[in-house]
Amino acid sequence: MNLRFTAACLVLFACSISVFADDNHHHMDPNEKLGSVTFPISCSAESQKPFERAVAMLHSFEYEQAESGFKQVAAKDPKCAMAYWGEAMTLFHLLWSRPTAADMKRGDELAHKAQQLKPKTKREQEYVDAVSALYQTGEIEHKKRLANYASAMEKVANDNPKDTEAQAFYAVALLGAAPENDPSHAQGRKAVAILTRIFEVQPDHPGIAHYIIHSCDNPQMAPLGLAAAREYAKIAPASPHAVHMPSHIFARLGLWQDSIASNAAALKAADKMAEMHFHTAHHRMHAMDYMHYAYLQIGDDQNARAVSDAMAKMNRAEIEPEYQPYYDDMVSSMAARYAIERRQWKEALALVPLEKASPQQQVVT
Q: What is the pLDDT of residues 130-159, one digit of tens each?
A: 999 999 888 889 999 999 999 999 999 999
What mean pLDDT, rounded, does the chain reach? 88
Query: Is the model's pLDDT at 19 over the cut of 50?
Result: no
Residues in Cβ contact with 50 at an 8 Å cutoff, skipping those fewer than 6 apart: 22, 69, 72, 73
Beta bridge partners of residue 18, listed in sequence order:
36
Contact by Cβ (8 Å): 195, 171? yes
Handedness of CA 154, 159, 161, 166 (dihedral sign): negative
Contact by Cβ (8 Å): 80, 230? no
- CATH number (3.40.720, 1.25.40, 1.10.3210, 1.20.120) of 34-236 reads 1.25.40
Digit-coded pLDDT (tens) for 54-99: 999 999 999 999 999 999 999 999 999 999 999 999 999 999 888 9
Digit-coded pLDDT (tens) for 297-326: 999 999 999 999 999 999 998 888 888 888
